[in-house]
Amino acid sequence: MKKNQLLLSVLLLSVLSVLYSCEKNSSEDGPTTADREKFLGTWQGVSNGTVNGQLNWNMVITASNSAPDQILMDNFDGVGNGVKIIASVSGNSITIPGAPLNVISATNDTISGSGSYNSNNTLSFNFTVRDGQTTDFRTGSAHQ
């Protein structure tokens, strides 16, 4: 009887160790809300472009409820309070996907580009604003 119990215990431990080793590593699960936390808050921004020159603006970045890696940038590049630009975060990088997500209804402009969170707690952006006729190539930065 003891031999059967020992054999059963060894078999059970073996099965459990195999199952445990097959669990996904959390870093393989994709982006997490922790990546975007550093982007959240109120930022003062400035941008320069080929068409509209320098713009100064304030924006508020909040977490999106749609995906754990998504943020909403309210008034990005001075597009207007209440106008939210959608972006995805991975590590320190931001991706602004453009149309159809980021078409500003009041002006029909499309914003797309990329950005990053820098070691000095600032944000940097490279993006384009297209209105159907002209394209404004812009660079920007923001600090809290």
H or E segment to which residue 14 belongs: helix 2-21
Distance CA 112, CA 128 (A): 6
Q: How high is the pLDDT of residue 122?
A: 97
How would you label 71-106 residue by residue, b for 16+ Cβ within 10 Å and e otherwise?
bbbbbbbbbeeebbbbbbbeeeebebebeeebebee
Q: How high is the pLDDT of residue 31?
A: 52
Q: How high is the pLDDT of residue 16?
A: 42
Report the sign of the C-alpha dihedral through residues 113, 80, 136, 119, in that order: negative
Q: How high is the pLDDT of residue 34?
A: 80
Write out the chain's pLDDT in tens, 144 residues.
Answer: 555 444 444 444 454 444 444 444 444 555 556 899 999 999 999 999 999 999 999 999 999 999 999 999 999 999 999 999 999 999 999 999 988 889 998 888 999 999 999 999 999 999 999 998 999 999 999 999
Q: How high is the pLDDT of residue 41?
A: 97
pTM above 0.85, yes or no: no
